[in-house]
Amino acid sequence: MPIILVVILLGIVEGITEFLPVSSTGHLILANALLGYDPETWKVFNVVIQLGAMMAVVVLYWRTFVAVIMGLVKREPGAFAFVRNVLIAFLPAAVLGLAIHKQIEAMLGSARIVSVALIVGGIAILIIEKTARRGDIASVSAIPWHKALLIGVFQCLAMIPGVSRSGATILGALTLGVERRTAAEFSFFLALPTMAGATALELFKNRHELGPIGLPMIGLGALVSFLVALVVIKAFLAIITKRGFGPFAWYRILVGGAALAWLTLG
């Protein structure tokens, strides 16, 4: 398959899966395995194209970010609480990510780990959907700081490829009394420093060599992921408002099971 088609395909996969509780990294690893490409070759590409999906959040929620900036200028408590919660929730992943970065990288080439994590995560979503009480925290700024910190701890589970950063964050928020839409939006906002940090670390480590894929192809993949994520985020919020997270749980179980069977029999 021509390299440009692979880049576009992976950009689409990233844009669709980044903000859904299905694991974008896991899907990219499975896609590389399915296409027969060396995961080490595509490692930098898979991380950096997340910037495209990240920019989709900035574009869709620009009014929220402008309101927060203006609120900070006016010294409004709600704006400070918004920034505080995002930064506090980001800290656990930042600290743990730097501490065990090599161990995380070692797992990024394992499609089998991704398959098992998809199945386990899908079952976890179904259980939490059934057992978690209906949340009454309806805005990011209303989340108490200690709950924001615990949500950040949940996010650390996503260092296992296939767990899903958004899924871990959302489920953690649900168990702590945050209502569905707010839990999803908090995961979007928390993605910005998390993804920016992961991308900056990867670019710094590979600053002298971006790999055989090259910067133009990385840029194309990021652009594709940006355009796709614009559509997916809106659709995701509509689905969870009406049907909850159950459809994504069953999807994870089916894809994880199919991938595990393919890896075992292949």
**pTM attached to this predicted model:** 0.84
Residue 116 has pLDDT above 80, yes or no: yes
pLDDT tens digit sequence for 30-63: 887 777 776 667 777 877 888 899 999 999 999 9
Instruction: State the pLDDT confidence band at 16, using cuts at 50, 70 and 90.
Output: very high
Share of the chain above pLDDT 70, in %: 92
Alpha helix (H) residue ranges in the chain: 3-17, 24-35, 43-48, 50-60, 62-73, 77-99, 101-107, 111-131, 145-155, 165-175, 180-205, 215-243, 246-265
Query: Distance between CA atoms of 84 and 68, rounded to whole angstroms?
Result: 11
| 8 A C-beta contact, residue 25 and residue 17 | no
Highest mean pLDDT: which range of 62-76, 118-132, 250-264: 62-76
